[in-house]
Chain A
C-alpha cells in the first residue's frame, strides 16, 4: 500500500520546479516565461505546505504559501504590465529581442 508521504510531495514539487525552470529557460515568449515562473512559485508553495504538514504540524507553511500566491498575483500583474510596454516598444513579446541588458 503506497502511503503518500512528504517525499512524494517533494518529488512532485521538484518535478514542478524543474518544469517551470525548463519553461523559463526555453520559452522565448515572455508570457511563457511568466507561466514558467508561476510553476516555480507553485512548486515552492507546495514545498512550504508539505513541510508545514509533515514537519511542523502548524499552519506556518500554509500562511507563507498564501502570501506567495498573493505575491505571485501581484507579480503577474506587474509582469504583464511590463510586457505591454515591452510590446509597445519592440512590437513583439519575444524576450530574446530585448537585448539591451547585454553587457
Chain B
C-alpha cells in the first residue's frame, strides 16, 4: 500500500468508520456525564442506539467497499494525519482501511449490538444499586467505552494507537469484570485480569520499543516495509542475536506477548475463567467481540513482523492452550466456566492457525467464533437469569420446556463450535454443509496438516472443492504467490522444515473433545430430567433477551457461508515477507490456502469429519441418564478428575510461585526495610540527635548563651558596682560630691 499517493482528505468509507468509532465515544460521554439522570432503562437504550448506528455505518461502509475494485480500494485510503514526531519517528494516525478492518468492524458492532440489547434485558433484573443508589447507567457507560476502544483498535493503522486502544480495552474489561465490585470475588477477579494482562503488555511495550528502535516506523505498513528492508540488508534485527535467537524473532515474540495476555493464552490464561464474575453480557462481550478478539487481531496485524521461529512459538503456545483448556472444560460444572474454557481452547486454535501460517483461517475462525460464542454466552446468561442466578449445571436439566428459543439457539452454537458438518465428499453435489467451526477450525487443521506433511500428500485430492462461490473472484492472488519463488533465508533454522507432527495431531484429538464438552454442557442444561425442581419451576425466558440470540444464530449461519471468509482472504498480508521467510507459509497464508483448504478438507474429512458425531455420542451416552454414570467415571479416574477439575492447579501454582514469591519478596523487603533501611534511618537520626545535642547544649547553650549571659552578667555586676555608692543617704552623696571636687581640684593643682 505504501508508495501510492493517497488523497489527504478522508474517503467516504473512512468517514463512515471514524463516525462509527466516535458515536460510542459520544454515548460514553453522555452516559458518563448525565447518565444518572437518564435512569433505567433509558441509559441502556442510549448505548444500544449508539452501537446500532455504528453497526449500520459499518454495514454501509462494507457495502461500499464490496462494490469497489482493487484500484478503488487503494484510492479509498487517505494519507494518515501527522500528529507528532517521536524523536525522528513520525507519529501519523490514520484509518487502516482494508477488508479485515471492515469485516471485523462489522462483526464487532453487530455482535455488540446484540449483546447491548440483551444487556438491557439482563440488567433490568439485576441489582445495580450501590449504597442504595441505582447505578444502572454505569454498566452502559463502560459498555460504550468498551465498544469505542475496540473499534478504535480495529481502525488503528499505527502500533502506538493500537497500543493505546489496547490498554483502553484492558481498562474497560477491568471495570466490567469488577462491575459488582462490592463482591470480593468480583473485585479480585478484576484485579487478576488487569494484572495478568499487564504481564503480557509488558512484553508488548518492549516489542513496541524494539520496533521504534530498529524499524523507526510505528505505522503497520511502514514497520512491515522496514522489517523487509532489514531482512534484505541483513540489518541489526537479523544480525544481532540474543540467547540464540535473532532480535527480529524476539521482537515478534514480545509483541505476541501482549496477545498472550489479552487472548488468554497459556501461561496467562488464568484470568479468563475468573472474568466470569462480571455480568454475563460482559462475559459475552469479552469472549466474543472485544477483549480476546483483540489479541488475535493484533497477531494478525503483526503477522508480517513474525519470523518463522516466532511463528513456531505462536503455534506452540496456541497448541498448549487449546489442549489444556479443552481438557479442563470437560469437567467444569459451572455453565459459564465451560464456556470460558471453550473460549480459551478456541483462541488456542486461532493462535495455532496464526502460528502455522493459516492467517485467513485463524481470522475466519475468530469471526465465526465471535458469533457462536456470543450466542452461547448470551444463552447461558438467559439460563442464569431465568434460573435466578443458578450457574451450576448439575442443578439444571430439562430446561428445554421452559426455554425453547434459548435451547434451540444454544444448540446452533454447540453445533458450530463442534464443527458439525457434512464433508463435500459425502455430499451428492460436493457442496459441504456445516456450521462455523466446520469451515474455520478445519481450515486451520488443514493448513497445519499441510505444514506438517507437505503438499504432495494432499495434492491428489485437488479437484475437490468446497464450492464457495463467493471466494472465487478473490483467488486471483494465487497467481502472485505461485510466481514468487521462496527466497532462502540462511538464518532461519526451520526454513521450509516441516512442523513437528504433534502440532497437527494434538489439535485433531482436541477436535474430538470439543464436541464432547459442549454437548455435555447443553445436555446437562436443557435435556434430561429436571434435577432441581426449585430451579426448574421458576425458569423462564424473556423476548428482550432471546431475540438477540436469534439474530446471533442467524449470524453464525451467515458468517459460515457468505462474505466473511472471502473478505478476510482479501486482506491477507502481501506475500513479499512471508515469501521471503517461508515459501510454505506463503501458500498457507494466502488465498492459495483456500486450495489447500479444499484439498485437505477432503483428506481431513476422514480424520475429523466425524469428530462431532463421536464427541456428541460419548457425551450423550454419559449424560443421557443424569449425572450417575459420569460420577462413577469420575470416581474411577479420581486423580485425573481432580487434576482437571482443579484446572491443572494453575491457580494454585501461580498462587504458590508468583503470589508466594511476591510474599517472600515482601518478607525479604520487609526485613531489609526493617533491619537495614530502618537501621540506617535510626542511625542517621541518632547522629543528628547527637549533633543537635552538641550544637544545642554545647555550642548554643555554652558558647552563644554564655556570651549573651556573660554580657548580661557583666552589665549586671557593673551596674551593681555603680549602684553600691548610691546608698540613699544624702550625706554620702554630699561626701562623694565633695570628694570628687577635691580630686578635681588636686588634679588641677598638681597637673
Contact = CB atoms under 8 A, between A and B. Distances in A.
B738 A21 contact: yes
B722 A25 contact: no
A96 B734 contact: no
B728 interface: yes
A27 B735 CA distance: 12
Contacts of A65: none
Contacts of A21: 734, 738
Contact of B734 (A25, A28, A101, A103): A25
Q: Is the interface of B mostly helix, strand, loop or mixed?
A: helix
Contacts of B2: none
A101 B727 CA distance: 7
B731 A33 contact: yes
A101 B731 CA distance: 12
Contact of B726 (A26, A33, A102): A102
B730 A95 contact: yes
Contacts of A24: 731, 734
Interface in A7-29: 21, 24-28
Contacts of A99: 727-729
B723 interface: yes
A96 B726 contact: no
A27 B731 CA distance: 8
B731 A102 contact: no
A21 B734 CA distance: 8
Interface string A35-72: 00000000000000000000000000000000000000
Nearest to A32: B731
B728 A98 contact: yes
Contacts of B731: 24-28, 33, 95-96
Nearest to B738: A21
Nearest to B735: A25
B55 to A, nearest CB: 107
B706 to A, nearest CB: 28
Interface string B534-578: 000000000000000000000000000000000000000000000
A91 interface: no
B124 to A, nearest CB: 100
A3 interface: no
Nearest to B730: A95
B619 to A, nearest CB: 119
Nearest to A28: B731
Interface string A73-103: 0000000000000000000000110111111
B135 to A, nearest CB: 87
A54 B492 CA distance: 143
Interface string B706-743: 00000000000000001110111111111100100000
A16 to B, nearest CB: 14
Contacts of A101: 726, 728, 730, 733
15 contacts: A24-B731, A24-B734, A25-B732, A25-B735, A25-B738, A33-B734, A95-B729, A95-B730, A98-B728, A101-B730, A102-B728, A103-B722, A103-B724, A103-B726, A103-B728
Interface of B: 722-724, 726-735, 738
Ranked 6 nearest A-B pairs via Cβ: A102-B728, A103-B723, A103-B726, A99-B728, A101-B728, A24-B734
